Amino acid sequence: MISNPISLLLLLVFFTVIVDGKGGEHIPTTLDGPFKPVTVPFDNSLRGHAIDLPATDPRVKRNVHGFEPEQISVTLSSTYDSVWVSWITGEFQIGDDIKPLDPKSVASVVRYGMLRYPLSHKAEGYSLVYNQLYPFEGLQNYSSGIIHHVRLTESIHYGFVGLKPGREYFYHCGDPSKEAMSDIHSFKTMPVSNPISYPGRIAVVGDLGLTYNTTSTISHLMSNNPDLVLLVGDVTYANLYLTNGTGSDCYSCSFSDSPIHETYQPRWDYWGRFMQPLVSKVPIMVVEGNHEIEQQAENQTFAAYSSRFAFPSEESGSSSTFYYSFNAGGIHFVMLGAYISYNKSGDQYKWLQKDLANVDRSVTPWLVATWHPPWYSTYQAHYREAECMRVEMEELLYSYGVDIVFNGHVHAYERSNRVYNYSLDPCGPVYITVGDGGNREKMAIKHADEPGNCPDPSTTPDEYMGGFCAFNFTSGPAKGKFCWDRQPDYSAYRESSFGHGILEVKNETYALWTWHRNQDMYNGAADQIYIVRQPDRCTVQPKATRPWRRAFY
């Protein structure tokens, strides 16, 4: 049901413009589906290989002095009334003998306000340094610059009130005692959470890396003026390099004799510098991918990922940087970790149960989930790799009415019909894979349903995801087989190209999804659809303990 008269009025106005896209083109809705599967043939003129930006590129070189801030970024807290500002001061060290910087030597201060002058509010945070250490002769160790994280709120002398929704705030960061403050930047807070307030545009991208294709992706993305960026894993691909800076688009092919999977951590600093013009003003929310594992001494992993980004973990009741949630207007986002325990007995699953049970769909009608490796992908690369995670978590997400799932990992684009347990289901989520950000590894082109492309089941498990769950199908057109013989019914559209996506939630039932290829004009969309919620058909009770609903075509 439409919950209030204002929403009904907006919906009636919306229906007058929904029919036509740009140039009078009809935009389909999920109500028109399920759609006949579409495969767009690969364009051989595209750069399937991507070349990394060199350290000499002006966009990745350090251009500050002393302890002046660099690599500045903004991250959302769990609600609109708070954000995190992060930055780095001091130079990283790399070599055999390194001495970490002292985080206490530089203050973590942000001055901010709704006017550029004066910046009337002040917040202080914390700082840290992380190390990437390799106990093998000849490998270079790394110690980061000082990483700062400061949470901004707005307080007045008689109490805490929080940042105001949908407002522009100006800020600069650094250590005022050292005359090491940044230039003034700005960001915009998210709308208040209710069924009629949404961010204008949310950019979704995965598997970015730092290549010339990446630069095209980010240029196109910025031209769409997003209010929020979701990065669905695989950030810098620093682990495609040896510690001496030698890189390859296939680490295992080129460096099979390495005693440990090395990384070249300065690639993280290059990435942070390149991204600053975007993420210093547009909040970015990140979930970990397999390229962030970065194993080092004593089996420590994810050091760079967990240190460089701020996460609203504590604010959302999580004890981990690998899973958390947040609201952006009337959307509740759940970010999940695929490379830590996702079993029903584990902390992440228990946290997810509690988080979903506390979602009030009368306040945040839309529920979006994100993790790195897709459950529903028809490409040969990483085919059914995350099957164990699907077996553990799919029923829970379905029962709480997740509307959309975003994934990366597969270096191509794919959008599903609504699906649950490999069957078409009008109450299942729409799964969208956007692992096409432009990284150095090869683009995914082959499909598992094409002759000769079905992988051996024994090769599909990922060592960091654990277990083997990808058995032959027991029902449907692929019964008795590991792969379909044609593009599966649940796959609506697939295409191998670099690009990004934009989500525009219009109201509590309609959201426009568009996918933008790098080779197209900035305002062109290769794939577009209105995703329509059906709360009457797919009932989800607000803040229920465990609502269960089931519907079939």
**Cα-Cα end-to-end distance for the chain:** 21
Per-residue CA distances from 332 to 335, 381, 444, 547 (Å): 10, 30, 31, 17
Report the amino acid identity of residue 469.
Answer: C
Provide Rg for the chain, Cα atoms: 23
Residue 256's Cβ-count burial label (10 Å; 0-12, 13-18, 19+) is exposed
Q: Which helix (H) or strand (E) holds 121?
A: strand 121-124
For residue 384, the tally of other CB atoms under 10 A from its CB is 23
Q: Could you identify the residue written with the tokens 């509590």? A: 508
Strand order in the sheet with 284-286: 284-286, 228-231, 202-205, 499-505, 510-517, 527-532
Non-local CB neighbours of 5 within 8 Å, separated by 6+ positions: none
Non-local CB neighbours of 369 within 8 Å, separated by 6+ positions: 333, 334, 335, 336, 397, 402, 404, 405, 406, 429
The partner residues of 291 in beta bridges, in order of sequence, read: none
Helix and strand totals (H; E) in the chain:
7, 30
Residue 545's Cβ-count burial label (10 Å; 0-12, 13-18, 19+) is exposed
CA dihedral 460, 389, 233, 495 (to 10 degrees): 60
Compute the distance between CA of residue 376 and CA of residue 394 in angstroms, rounded to an integer: 11
Compute the distance between CA of residue 34 and CA of residue 393 in angstroms, rounded to an integer: 24
Q: Provide the residue count of the chain.
A: 553
SS (H, E, C) 256-280: CCCCCCCCCCHHHHHHHHHHHHHHC
- Catalytic site residues? 382
* Backbone φ, ψ for residue 282 (5° rounding): -115, 120
Please check whether residue 156 is in contact with residue 112, taking contact to mean a CB–CB distance below 8 angstroms. no
What secondary structure does DSSP assign to 150-212, as a single string? Answer: EEE--EETTEE--PPTT-EEEEEEEEGGGTEEPPPEEEEPPPPSBTTB--S-EEEE----SBH
Q: Which of these, 145, 146, 149, lies nearest to 173 by C-alpha position?
A: 149
Is the preceding omega at residue 34 within 30 degrees of 0, hence cis?
A: yes
Please check whether residue 381 is in contact with residue 416, taking contact to mean a CB–CB distance below 8 angstroms. no
Half-sphere exposure of residue 254: CA atoms within 13 angstroms, side-chain side: 12
